[in-house]
Amino acid sequence: MKSLIRYSPLLLLALAWEAASRLELVSSLALPPLTSVLAAWFDLLINGELVSNGWASLYRGGTGLLLSVIVGSTLGIFMAWWRPVNALVGPLVELFYPMPKSALIPVTVIWLGFGDGSKILLIFLGCMLPVTIGAFNGARSSDRTLVWSARSMGASRMRMLWDVVVPSALPELLSGVRTALALTFILLVSSELIVARQGLGYLIGYLGADGAYEAMFAVVLTVAFLGFAADRAYQLLMNRMLQWRE
Amino acid sequence: MSDSAQIVIDRVSHLYRPPRGREVLALEDVSLRVTSREFVALLGPSGCGKSTLLYLIGGFFPTEIGSILIDGQPVGGPGPDRGIVFQHFALFPWKTVRGNILYGLERQGMERGEREKRVQDFIELVGLAGFEDSYPSQLSGGMKQRTAIARTLAIDPKILLMDEPFGALDAQTRHLMQSELLSIWQRTPKTVIFVTHDVQEAVYLADRVAVMSARPGRIKTIVDTKFDKNDPNIFKAKAFVDKVDEIWNLVRVEAIKAQETRPS
Amino acid sequence: MAGVDAAAVKAMPRPAPWQALAWRLAPFFSIGLLLIAWEALARSGTFTPFVLPAFSSVVARIWSDAITGDLLINTGLTLYRAIVGFLISAIGGVAIGMAMSRSVGVRWFFDPIISVGFPMPKIAFLPVVILWLGLYDLSKISIIVFDAIFPVVTATIAGIKGVERELLWSARNMGARDREMLWQIVLPAALPMIMTGLQVALPLSMIVAVVAEMLMGGYGIGGAMMTASRFADSPGVFAGIVEIALVGLVLVKGMTMLRRRLLIWHQEANEPTTA
């Protein structure tokens, strides 16, 4: 009940959408009624378009994000812990971090073509630096008395890196990954909209060009919902991993 | 005396180099001998380098001028022969009480069954039974410090280095922890180097108190403070009160000096 | 100095001056190394010039674009769209955030929209925006605002929420009225958070501007890169990357400097930067 009141504005928006379209306040071409959008969604689900394209997007996004988390966090922690690594890699990170990552779309296409490879590379390159910076800032802020405690209890330097520096970096590292997750969706959908033959972004563009606006809205809402759900699920995971805080 | 000294600090100076700004001579020409199972307090105003001296003994900073020998061996780095307890506990926040105490034992390669038993023993020793699975964020300051002490004692170091361990606790808890530390020390005697700026705490706990001067830190005097620590009325005993007074006068001069020379 | 001779202190190991210099030059070294490696790799023939055009040919391309004026038009247009979108998001976002903090009704309406909308990939709505608003600046700027406004709103709300009670009480105590409270106490106290939100919104504006240009074509760096890639003109594509990277770098650095200026009273010596 409480959540009903809380989320009632969304419900109102949905009703307004339906009414505006049904009463022809706006052209139903520009804004097809929500109910027809839902019907189109079921059609897409049944004819398999949603599942096959969704699967392609999931595979690209998941692989790219996973790679960026592995490489980015390793790089960030080593940068924080070994000064020469920082001196060499740090300036490059600082140079490339502010670059609008979407500019890499045509380059990854030149390198790897129109398929999965270029999307995975794009997401990997685009998402790596936020993770690297999160890991770096987290690892750099690890408390020296924790490091000393571990050393005086007999931990070797490598051991200490794993047992103290990595967990100390975790809160900032995980929030870097959250940024990367959001970027994954942005880069995935953009690159699929611009150059692809498969994927949810491609489906949106294809349906739009075809004039199938009900179906296009259905896929747009699906993507938006997936992004929202992924973020919520990630937050749950993050809170579990950081339950030792407070 | 030279044969029985376990820790020999010989003419140690230390130059502290901040990342920015001028270097500071934190310690100057400090010499001190500590015999096995002795309880020595390093007392002085804040910024006098007493913690620096402790970190040098611990091997966290390299000794660049002078030498520090432990059982005849120069200090090469941190090691499990010297356990350390910090003012702000330095517990691993992502590990439970049990996990924190287990950590050192795992690093020592102790076998599983023995490890578990030892952890339980030390949890009981410091009175934390029932809190084994709590995270540090769920504990009070006193409980955190008990955990830290148990964690350090569990690996059975020969030397216990304590860096203002009760400085972050409220007055009542501090009192309680002092007498508990004494009783633990009497049961399992170890060499203790205890850094503090609380005169009464130093006189109560230590066999000898090394009074340090303001920056650059030097040892000004070493005062003998052996009392019958089990006397419940010790804090009212005249000899004790006089001793606190005597040392307080020494420290006060230095504290005022430290105020004046402190860079703003 | 009893005992310690000055010679002993002098003899202590300390970094040689050339070492300090080496650390200082390291950034230029690694960037230089990257460029040299790029040039060498391109010239070695390991990759075709299509896959990896030489750095020198990319520089030549940027130079010739600069002479024809294309460089100015394209970067100017991209910057214009991104910055207009960013400014609208900044002003609108702070206004919505403030209204939500002050009025229960506004909060009731916007709260679910913000909390659901914030994590959504708004870029997916780009085709819808095109459908509604066409292919020109209006739709490009609209999608930028749609994306960049969310972090500003959430940061503003969090910033205002985080203002210390004691601060508000003492201001009231000294006789501050509502309007003064807002402008002189609440907003300055919330400024660090708001700036953080703006620092998220600015790069986001750039990312979305580039995507919008790529999809809709026309002038602008994104459009120019798509045209170049359609004609297999890879120096053109790489030139676009270099240009946009420099523009992004200048904007982000400028924002960091602005933050330092505005928050000079705020103790944050360690602003999250890399080096």
CATH superfamily of B1-81+157-248: P-loop containing nucleotide triphosphate hydrolases (3.40.50.300)
Please give the Cα distance from A185 to C121 (Å, whole number): 6
Is ipTM over 0.85?
Answer: yes
Q: What is the pLDDT of residues B72-88, one digit of tens each?
A: 999 988 999 999 999 99
Average pLDDT over residues B223-236: 84
**For residue C94, what pLDDT band results from cuts at 50, 70 and 90?**
very high
Q: Using CB atoms, which residue from A9, A79, A220 is nearest to C108?
A: A9
The neighbour count for residue C28, using CB atoms within 10 Å, is: 10
Q: What is the pLDDT of residues B7-21, one digit of tens each?
A: 999 999 998 877 766
Q: CB C206 to CB A204 under 8 A?
A: no
Give CATH 3.40.50.300 domain extents, chain B: 1-81+157-248
Q: Which of C34, C204, C274 to mutate to test the interface with A (most CBs of A within 10 A)?
A: C274
Sort out which chain A residues have CB atoms less than 8 A from B88's CB and list them: 145
Quick one: which of C42, C18, C107, C10 has its CA closest to C238?
Answer: C42
**For residue B2, what pLDDT band results from cuts at 50, 70 and 90?**
very low
Per-residue model confidence (pLDDT) at position B236? 85
Q: CB C4 to CB B65 under 8 A?
A: yes
Q: CB B64 to CB C1 under 8 A?
A: no
How close, in Å, is residue A101 to chain C by CA atoms? 6
Per-residue model confidence (pLDDT) at position B1? 43
Please give the Cα distance from A179 to A130 (Å, whole number): 7
Per-residue model confidence (pLDDT) at position C271? 45
Instruction: Compute the CA torsion angle C65, C71, C72, C78 (nearest 10 deg).
Output: 160
Sort out which chain B residues have CB atoms less than 8 A from C14's CB and list them: 17
Domain for residue C153, yes or no? Answer: yes
pLDDT mean by block of 10 residues, chain A; 246 residues: 82 90 82 91 93 95 97 94 88 91 92 91 96 94 92 91 93 95 95 90 92 93 94 95 86
Q: Do the Cβ atoms of B199 and B244 come closer than 8 Å?
A: yes
Domain for residue A39, yes or no? Answer: no
Q: Using CB atoms, which residue from C119, C124, C126 is nearest to A231?
A: C119
- Is B80's Cβ below 8 Å from some Cβ in A? yes
Interface B–C counts its CB contacts (< 8 A) at 21
Q: Using CB atoms, which residue from B55, B103, B135 is nearest to A153?
A: B103
- Is B135's Cβ below 8 Å from some Cβ in A? yes
CATH number at residue A151: 1.10.3720.10
Host domain of residue C206: 72-262
Per-residue model confidence (pLDDT) at position B255? 79
Q: What DSSP string runs through C147-176? A: HHHHHHHHHHHHHHHTS-HHHHHHHHHTT-
B261 Cα distance to chain centroid: 26
Per-residue model confidence (pLDDT) at position C6? 46
- Is B137's Cβ below 8 Å from some Cβ in A? yes
- The neighbours of chain A, by the rule of 3 or more Cβ pairs under 8 Å, are B, C
Host domain of residue A218: 46-241
Per-residue model confidence (pLDDT) at position B5? 85
- Is B78's Cβ below 8 Å from some Cβ in A? yes
Q: CB A102 to CB C214 under 8 A?
A: yes
Per-residue model confidence (pLDDT) at position B33? 94
**In this predicted structure, which of B252-261, C48-57, C115-124 has the lowest mean pLDDT?**
B252-261
Quick one: which of C125, C222, C146, C133 has its CA closest to A200?
Answer: C125
Q: CB A98 to CB C228 under 8 A?
A: no
Interface of C with B in 84-143 (CB under 8 A): none
Report the length, in residues, of chain A.
246
**In this predicted structure, which of B103-112, C2-11, C76-85 has the lowest mean pLDDT?**
C2-11
- As for how many domains chain C has, the answer is 1
Sort out which chain A residues have CB atoms less than 8 A from C245's CB and list them: 95-96, 98-99, 103
Per-residue model confidence (pLDDT) at position B204? 93
Q: What is the pLDDT of residues B114-168, one digit of tens each?
A: 999 999 999 998 989 999 999 999 999 999 999 999 999 999 999 999 999 999 8
- As for how many domains chain A has, the answer is 1
- Residue C3's closest chain B neighbor by CA? B29
Quick one: which of C168, C155, C258, C250 has its CA closest to C200?
Answer: C155
Q: 3-class DSSP state for residue B222?
A: strand
Q: What is the pLDDT of residues C2-28, one digit of tens each?
A: 344 444 454 455 556 677 777 778 778
Domain for residue A136, yes or no? Answer: yes
Per-residue model confidence (pLDDT) at position A27? 80
pLDDT(C275) > 50: no
Q: What's the order of all strands across the beta sheet hosting B24-35?
A: B24-35, B5-16, B65-70, B73-74
CATH number at residue C214: 1.10.3720.10
Q: CB C127 to CB A94 under 8 A?
A: no
Query: Distance of CA A232 to CAs A126, A177, A222, B61, C152, Å?
Result: 22, 13, 15, 45, 20
Q: What is the pLDDT of residues C196-227, one digit of tens each?
A: 999 999 999 999 999 999 998 889 999 999 99
